């Protein structure tokens, strides 16, 4: 089970563990679509063969990326890549 915690990331709960996955810190300009973007990121990562924890972490990045712009748009690949680079530096 994955529970969105908004700017605090997500809580991943399995039969074997409970782990809070952090979201990258951003200055949100809008939150509509962030949850949808998080779910889409998780699904995309799982489809690509990533493990569950990595997929949830990617979903958190996608959710955070969706908050970078006002309005109702979902995350963009460019914003996801930018936040991923910042998190890896």
The SS3 of residue 7 is helix
Residue 69's Cβ-side half-sphere holds a number of Cα atoms within 13 Å equal to 13
Alpha-helical runs (H) found in 1-89: 34-47, 52-66, 77-88
Query: Active-site positions?
Result: 36
């Amino acid at each position: 089970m994955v529970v969105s915690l908004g700017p605090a990331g997500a809580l991943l709960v399995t039969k074997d563990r409970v782990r809070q996955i952090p979201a990258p810190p951003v200055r949100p300009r809008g939150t509509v679509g962030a949850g949808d973007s998080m779910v889409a990121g998780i699904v995309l990562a799982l489809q690509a063969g990533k493990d569950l924890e990595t997929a949830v972490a990617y979903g958190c990045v996608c959710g955070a990326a969706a908050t970078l712009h006002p309005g109702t748009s979902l995350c963009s690949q460019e914003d996801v890549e930018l936040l991923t680079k910042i998190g890896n530096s």
